[in-house]
Structure 1
Amino acid sequence: MQERTSSVDSYALQRAPAETQRLQVQAQMLKPVTQRLFEQAGIGPGMRVLELGSGAGDVALLLAERVGPQGEVIGVEIDADIIETARKRVREAGFTNVSFVNADIANLPLEGEFDAIVGRLIFIHLPSPASTLHRLSMMVRPGGIVAFQEYDMAHFTTTAVHPPNTLAGQMFTWIGEAFRRVGLPLRMGLELYQVFLDAGLPAPQMLGEAMIITGTDPIGCRLGAETTRSLLPLILKFGLATAEDVEIDTLAERLRQEAVNQGLVMRGPDVISAWTRLPNE
């Protein structure tokens, strides 16, 4: 796998309130598959877990419930604004076993061992995923868990919509092409296998699950539209569409209406899970 040379904070989507909202909508879609990853990986009560790229705190909230009051979750997030949202949500949920560190994961000011290190949709934004994972896995105790999830978006511009639909097809093309133009790997999910090996970890177990969106699923239509909103500056910059083409403020509703009227089935990005355990010394 070829490592990228961009800066560590190479986040392609906007760091703005609208992006914070999009992350929470996305989290609703991903919650079941992330819960399955944690269950299969063996994350449970009493564990001390390090989470990379906490965003608005959704994964940390799932972990907090899973490790229980005797466990601990430490989330790392580079965006100072969104981490305040995460802290507020944790307080409102009543969890006392979660804390967040506002830091670049390239220079973590943390000490001690963790029972697990996890992350969701973080490696796609890092210039050197394998090098980062190798370094951070040193913080995991022998026999500990490494578990990550990433998207595989290779089908976006070809088979994402059935039957074919112009609006939905355009939206998926805008999203996929915007990521491609900034050099982010559309197949990061499938690259997880090599990332683990290059990091010096045992070969991971892997599972792929498709995100299926229909007209009866307003969250899915909203997520597509909000992802387009966050990528809109790139879509306009690269000339993929005009603001008039996108009509961002009505995109979610137009997409939902067409999905209902035409019985559309839309395949969002596949979610690829990978997990392994470090050898016992």
Structure 2
Amino acid sequence: MLQAITHRMLLSANVGAGSSVLDIGCGVGGVSQLAARLVGPRGHVTGIDQSDAAISLATSLARSANLSNITYTNSTLEHANLDQQFDAVVGRAVLLFQPDVVTFLKKAARLVKPGGYIAFHEIDDGRQFQSRPKVEIWDLTMRALLSKLQQGCPQYDIAQRMVEVFALAGLPVPELTYEIPTAGGKAESLCLWATETLRSLSGNATHAQLADGYAMDWGALNLELQSAISSANAQVEFLGQVCAWARIPVC
């Protein structure tokens, strides 16, 4: 689901055959692999991440996918030893975690060639989700998830401030899209996504803690969400996804 949204952003940022791309905070390489397929053998993708484990897995996954046009480096943007500019500098779910997002954007923009693009796909952790008709357990789960995300992300509402922070960083007004993953029926993908995201943010907890002491085993929560949504003939929303991209002017 995320890959399709990011893919559309990369295309909008003119990532194509022969492009050079820097993927900041690449994680295990989901965005890097998308870009590598777009740039083809004449292009190249550089992925950087501060996690040794993520870089190791990303390298292994790229090898398994026969993508030889990706290079991964264990580094932050601040300490990356990069001696070139790129046609596109991109990232997904990166700005959320920056203590100083404006300084981060300025540094990222300096790595873009004149006429190239800077583009970020961010998750909206500042917006309450909807379920119609109301599904109480879905709403409880979403409130618990939002609470965890807002505690852990210094820029949890960045998806609602992309124009502002681009301007503060001296960048052009970005083009924007906002997509809300939505489903009905059993909504299996959204339920699994919600459950696993909440679980990953809950440390070693064996149960989901939702509200007022209400707790449920993780597997049971996933199934209960599916059953409740289906029984209510409801339509449920998940985390909003914002993409913003801007072309760096040619001086």
CA distance in structure 1 between the partners assigned to 2:102 and 2:225 by the alignment: 38
Aligned to 2:155: 185
Does the 8 A contact of 2:97 with 2:154 survive in 1? Answer: yes
1:264 aligns with 2:205: no
Which structure 2 residue ranges, 5 or more long, are not aligned?
Answer: none
1:35 aligns with 2:11: no
SS in 1 for 2:203: helix
SS in 2 for 1:106: coil
Aligned to 1:170: 140
The structural deviation recorded for 1:69 is 0.7
Aligned to 2:60: 88
Check 1:41–1:214 CA distance in 2 against 1; reply closer, same or farther (3 A cut): same
Aligned pairs, how many? 249
Pairing 1:42-81 to 2, within 5 Å after superposition: 42-81=14-53
Which structure 1 residue ranges, 5 or more long, are not aligned?
Answer: 1-28
The structural deviation recorded for 1:181 is 3.2
Aligned to 2:105: 133
Q: 2:114 aligns with which of 124, 142, 166?
A: 142
**Residues 165-223 of structure 1: CA deviation (Å, up to 9, x unaligned):** 12111110001112223463332112111221111111111111111133344221110
1:230 aligns with 2:214: no
Q: Which has the higher strand share?
A: 2
Aligned to 2:76: 104
Aligned to 1:154: 126
CA distance in structure 1 between the partners assigned to 2:247 and 2:24 by the alignment: 17
CA distance in structure 1 between the partners assigned to 2:153 and 2:46 by the alignment: 30
SS in 2 for 1:171: helix
CA distance in structure 1 between the partners assigned to 2:109 and 2:126 by the alignment: 28
CA distance in structure 2 between the partners assigned to 1:53 and 1:246 by the alignment: 33
Normalised by the length of structure 2, the TM-score is 0.92
SS in 1 for 2:34: helix
The structural deviation recorded for 1:129 is 1.3
Normalised by the length of structure 1, the TM-score is 0.82
Q: Which has the higher helix share?
A: 1
Aligned to 2:95: 123
Does the 8 A contact of 1:178 with 1:234 survive in 2? Answer: no
Does the 8 A contact of 1:214 with 1:220 survive in 2? Answer: no
The letter of the residue matching 1:249 is G
The structural deviation recorded for 1:79 is 1.2
SS in 1 for 2:89: strand
Query: How large is the RMSD of aligned CA atoms in angstroms?
Result: 2.1
CA distance in structure 2 between the partners assigned to 1:142 and 1:45 by the alignment: 18
